[in-house]
A and B are shown apart, each in its own frame.
Chain A
Amino acid sequence: MIEVQQLSGGYPDTPVIQNFNVSLERGEFFAMLGPNGSGKTTLFHLLSGRLSKTSGEVLIAGTPLEKMRKLDKAKKMAVLSQEVQVSFDYTVEEVVRLGRYPHQNGFLKLLSAEDQRVIDEVLNLTRTEQFRNTRFRMISGGEKQRVLLAKALAQEPEILLLDEPTNHLDIKHTFELLDLLKTWQVERGVTVFAILHDLNVASLYADRVALLHEGRFQDVGSVDVLRDEEQLQHVYEVNVRTQPHPDVAKPQLLMVPKPEDAPLEPDDFRRQYSIEQTTGHVHVTFNAPVRAASSSVTGAGIDWLKHFCNFHVEKHYNSESPAEDVEMWMNELDIPPAQAAGMMTAVRTEDAVFVEDERHGIRLLAAVTAGVGNAVDITAQDTNVENFEVGTINMMLFLDAHLTDGALINGIASMTEAKTKALHDQGVKDGATQTTATGTSTDSVLLAATQRGEATPYAGSGTAVGRAIGEVVYEAVCEALKKYDEREGRA
């Protein structure tokens, strides 16, 4: 639909764009990204015909841009840019009517029935019908952009050029506008060429993105272009991290500010936390948030947290909403649930085992409660999951290390291996099958790291971190099982 070949152009003396090539398919949403001064706007003006090229070719549906009559160009291509100032008090409909300019014929160029039909349609589509007779200057910024979109759509274009159309809009209006655009693009097969400022918005709406750097394409491709952190850092000169969107299969970017605090001395790990142990709960508090990966009742997933709790519950505790209960107990203890991970266990919290040590050069703290009335061999065939007795193994492990997300998951696997080995060595059996148990039916695990020092990409058994995790978790679980046996024996 749009074919750009060896395009060069810009301002006299400074050819901002040099030897530029790109080809847009009909019906695709193409987003141009790049920092200020990368040439986005110049390229945009070259495409809209506002600036003349110095060499190269721009073909619109096969026709060279400079050979098109202005009216024909306006029938093919509409532009939506940042908020424009409208002089005089035109009504919304009068503004939208201007979009019919290229379609009006005859000597008097009056509005035809077809013009009016299109105007009604785009007003309806952009949900601006109710402002039809309102003065344009009186509506809000988001509504103005919708009206200007209606004007652009009234041109019935095959191509929409967007120049940062959501620049002044809040989040709601940004997404409203882009949703509208996306609908129109998909339904009508309109080709969209957009300059977008917000990389995350571009990732969500674009079919293809291009990264412009100093007048040249740094990269063009699917939104995976936005997964290349190094390249983004090179182009934008900020520390960028990329993350998957939790619900949509697209990347989202996170900017990292310059570090604020000087790194802490390595040997004060013990002063970073305090432990509270009562008959009702275990509560580990860190002075600063640590990065934790967990399968706990609340605060599960990966997050930065300060409080780690393990609550004791009755043997036959049964609740529809355990997470709400945990949050309620936290509130009673003045622990902010948003900064906390919470587990629960029927095991007596007085029997919790704490290991504070340094292994393989890594300082760590483990907090484990174990009960195995419920022990299960996850590989056995006829395990009765319904069976509920006292017992769950809750493990929390805190490292003074810097783990990537991959290392956190790797570390959790290491913890699980060590736990299973401990169960094996302690002779814990699945009650139903009498095979060696691999865990209980409701185990929770949490691994947290202070994120100081060099980042470690792995935490398996082949690494120092992995070895440290394995040793400490094994010891702590064995110790906790012994305490459990003692209490069960006494009982």
Chain B
Amino acid sequence: MLSKFIRMSSRTKILSFYAAALLFTIGAALTGLMISSVVIPIPTIVHILFEKSLGLGWLQNVEDNTFSIIWGIRLPRVLLALCVGASLALAGAAFQGLLRNPLADPYTLGVSSGAALGAVIVIFFNFTIVGLGDFTLPVVAIAAGMGTLLLVFGLVQLSSRSLAIETIILAGIIVSAFIGAIISLIIALSDQNSMTQIIYWLYGSVGMRGWSYVQLMLPFMAVGALLLITHYRELNALALGEDAADHIGVNVKRGKVFILVGASLLTGAAVAAAGSIGFVGLVIPHLVRLLTGPDHRHVLPVSMVVGGGFLVLADVLSRTIIAPQELPIGVVTALIGAPVFALLLVRERLGRSVRP
């Protein structure tokens, strides 16, 4: 009886986490739509959203200008931040589970470095692929990210047949370091203009991208998120180690490949759309795990929701702190994320010494 009661109450607890996460993110999104150089009241925002998407507006005399600010500029920006934040947090949670290392993040495997290299090359050579136009940069970036993943896989395959975790991490670090060196080389070779552009891009931004980037990101994000969320049980099983996972019937190698591909798709798309934004993938899953416990069935979706909301808020800060100028969003996430992470570390140690 008692255990049943506990189970029921833990179920309501989990449900309340989902509700809180959703509320947080919706709140963050509304804040993102409301605040900027011009503050637009929330009823107007809601009206515009309903009018534009469902044709169900109820307010009269809303200016065309307001329409285009919300629908043309702020909404895609908020949605992109949502997508990027969700992707990074989800990928981070998956990498941490897969690599059984709470310090892993979406950048551990070098996918982001690869995507960044692709983007940097596009900026440096300033070329466009015929038929892609402005999409050249994100497409090349995603392709380069995937190429990097294949390179890492190849390296791992050559050195160990079983896709050992340690080998994956090492191969990722080596490839990242090598790509980092190439990026530095390109920066050193570029002129003042492209150097500024590259560095700014590397710090990350979700502004001035428009709807097209959101549309570009969505398919990658959908596939990646589906791959990861359907493999939550494998992620849980891997916490016992690969042998133990194998013994309960998990196809460890296939599971690892799916999870790696899913997380890499998310990371590559996020980096291609918004540059390398740090700490979201590291801190958000940690925070979520503190609340929901380590079960990936909840960690993955809640991380996704909270990550999206977090990046929207970070974007609000980045464009308001020194308005009318903008801070790179990567700087904001690092400035918030690093102290929060440090706090989590200390808290964990304190918590451990208090509890028996």
Which residues of A are at the interface with B, using a C-beta cutoff of 8 A? 48-50, 70-71, 73-75, 78-79, 81, 84-91, 94-95, 98-99, 101-102, 104, 109, 120, 129, 132-133, 138, 151, 155
Contact of B248 among A87, A88, A120, A155 (CB under 8 A): A155
Q: Does B100 belong to the interface (CB within 8 Å)?
A: yes
Give the interface segment out of B129-137, B173-181, B197-205, B231-239. Answer: B231-239
Q: Contact string, B235-251, partner A, CB cutoff 8 A, digits 1/0? A: 01101110110111111
Q: Can you name 23 A-B pairs with beta carbons within 8 Å?
A: A70-B246, A73-B249, A75-B249, A79-B244, A84-B240, A86-B239, A87-B101, A88-B289, A88-B294, A90-B294, A90-B295, A94-B293, A94-B294, A95-B240, A98-B237, A98-B248, A99-B248, A101-B249, A101-B250, A102-B249, A129-B3, A133-B6, A155-B248
Known: A70-B250, A74-B248, A88-B289. 10 other contacts (CB 8 A): A74-B249, A84-B243, A87-B100, A88-B102, A89-B294, A90-B239, A90-B295, A98-B236, A132-B3, A138-B355
In the assembled complex, the Cα of A81 lies from the Cα of B246 at a distance in Å of 13
B294 neighbours in A (Cβ, 8 Å): 88-90, 94
Per the 8 Å Cβ criterion, residues 206-243 of B in contact with A are 233, 236-237, 239-241, 243
Known contacts A88-B294, A89-B293; decide if A78 and B247 are in contact (CB<8 Å): yes
Least Cβ–Cβ distance between B205 and chain A, in angstroms? 33
Do the beta carbons of A120 and B295 come within 8 Å of each other? no
Known contacts A101-B233, A120-B3; decide if A88 and B239 are in contact (CB<8 Å): yes
Least Cβ–Cβ distance between A155 and chain B, in angstroms? 6
Residue of B nearest to A90 (CB): B294
Do the beta carbons of B244 and A84 come within 8 Å of each other? yes
Do the beta carbons of B237 and A101 come within 8 Å of each other? yes
Least Cβ–Cβ distance between A89 and chain B, in angstroms? 6
B240 neighbours in A (Cβ, 8 Å): 84, 86, 95, 98
Residue of A nearest to B244 (CB): A84
In the assembled complex, the Cα of A48 lies from the Cα of B243 at a distance in Å of 10
B101 neighbours in A (Cβ, 8 Å): 87
Do the beta carbons of B246 and A50 come within 8 Å of each other? yes
A104 neighbours in B (Cβ, 8 Å): 233
B249 neighbours in A (Cβ, 8 Å): 70-71, 73-75, 101-102, 155
In the assembled complex, the Cα of A185 lies from the Cα of B241 at a distance in Å of 26
Residue of B nearest to A71 (CB): B249
Residue of A nearest to B237 (CB): A98
- B237, B243, B248 pick with most chain A CB within 10 angstroms: B248
The 6 A-B residue pairs whose C-beta atoms are closest, nearest first, are A74-B249, A88-B294, A102-B249, A79-B247, A87-B100, A71-B249
Residue of B nearest to A123 (CB): B3
Least Cβ–Cβ distance between A457 and chain B, in angstroms? 50
A94 neighbours in B (Cβ, 8 Å): 236, 293-295
Do the beta carbons of A48 and B247 come within 8 Å of each other? yes
Known contacts A94-B294, A94-B295, A132-B3; decide if A85 and B241 are in contact (CB<8 Å): yes
Do the beta carbons of A81 and B244 come within 8 Å of each other? yes
In the assembled complex, the Cα of A98 lies from the Cα of B238 at a distance in Å of 10
In the assembled complex, the Cα of A151 lies from the Cα of B250 at a distance in Å of 14
In the assembled complex, the Cα of A65 lies from the Cα of B199 at a distance in Å of 56
In the assembled complex, the Cα of A155 lies from the Cα of B249 at a distance in Å of 10
B243 neighbours in A (Cβ, 8 Å): 50, 81, 84
Least Cβ–Cβ distance between A413 and chain B, in angstroms? 57
B244 neighbours in A (Cβ, 8 Å): 79, 81, 84
In the assembled complex, the Cα of A138 lies from the Cα of B236 at a distance in Å of 18
Residue of B nearest to A99 (CB): B248
Least Cβ–Cβ distance between B70 and chain A, in angstroms? 36
Contact of A84 among B241, B250, B355, B356 (CB under 8 A): B241
Do the beta carbons of B102 and A102 come within 8 Å of each other? no
Residue of A nearest to B297 (CB): A110
Residue of B nearest to A79 (CB): B247
A79 neighbours in B (Cβ, 8 Å): 244, 247
In the assembled complex, the Cα of A88 lies from the Cα of B237 at a distance in Å of 12
Do the beta carbons of B3 and A87 come within 8 Å of each other? no
Least Cβ–Cβ distance between B297 and chain A, in angstroms? 8
In the assembled complex, the Cα of A79 lies from the Cα of B101 at a distance in Å of 25
A84 neighbours in B (Cβ, 8 Å): 240-241, 243-244
Q: Contact string, B99-117, partner A, CB cutoff 8 A, digits 1/0? A: 0111000000000000000
- B6, B100, B241, B249 pick with most chain A CB within 10 angstroms: B249
Contact of A91 among B3, B97, B293, B355 (CB under 8 A): B293
In the assembled complex, the Cα of A99 lies from the Cα of B250 at a distance in Å of 11
B233 neighbours in A (Cβ, 8 Å): 98, 101, 104, 109
Least Cβ–Cβ distance between B63 and chain A, in angstroms? 46
Least Cβ–Cβ distance between A168 and chain B, in angstroms? 16
A129 neighbours in B (Cβ, 8 Å): 3
- B236, B240, B241 pick with most chain A CB within 10 angstroms: B240
In the assembled complex, the Cα of A446 lies from the Cα of B289 at a distance in Å of 71
- B102, B233, B237, B247 pick with most chain A CB within 10 angstroms: B247
B100 neighbours in A (Cβ, 8 Å): 87-88
In the assembled complex, the Cα of A133 lies from the Cα of B249 at a distance in Å of 25
Per the 8 Å Cβ criterion, residues 262-320 of B in contact with A are 289, 293-295
Do the beta carbons of A70 and B295 come within 8 Å of each other? no
Do the beta carbons of B241 and A70 come within 8 Å of each other? no
In the assembled complex, the Cα of A189 lies from the Cα of B90 at a distance in Å of 45
Per the 8 Å Cβ criterion, residues 69-105 of B in contact with A are 97, 100-102
A155 neighbours in B (Cβ, 8 Å): 248-249
Known contacts A90-B295, A94-B236; decide if A70 and B102 are in contact (CB<8 Å): no
- A94, A120, A129, A132 pick with most chain B CB within 10 angstroms: A94
In the assembled complex, the Cα of A52 lies from the Cα of B340 at a distance in Å of 47
Residue of A nearest to B231 (CB): A109
A85 neighbours in B (Cβ, 8 Å): 241
A74 neighbours in B (Cβ, 8 Å): 247-249
Known contacts A50-B243, A84-B240, A88-B239; decide if A102 and B248 are in contact (CB<8 Å): yes
Least Cβ–Cβ distance between B237 and chain A, in angstroms? 5
Residue of B nearest to A94 (CB): B295
Least Cβ–Cβ distance between A114 and chain B, in angstroms? 15
Residue of A nearest to B235 (CB): A88
Do the beta carbons of B3 and A70 come within 8 Å of each other? no
A89 neighbours in B (Cβ, 8 Å): 289, 293-294
Per the 8 Å Cβ criterion, residues 1-33 of B in contact with A are 3, 6, 10
In the assembled complex, the Cα of A91 lies from the Cα of B298 at a distance in Å of 14
Per the 8 Å Cβ criterion, residues 137-193 of B in contact with A are none
B239 neighbours in A (Cβ, 8 Å): 86-88, 90
Residue of A nearest to B6 (CB): A133
Residue of B nearest to A88 (CB): B294
Least Cβ–Cβ distance between A290 and chain B, in angstroms? 52
Least Cβ–Cβ distance between A49 and chain B, in angstroms? 8
B3 neighbours in A (Cβ, 8 Å): 120, 129, 132
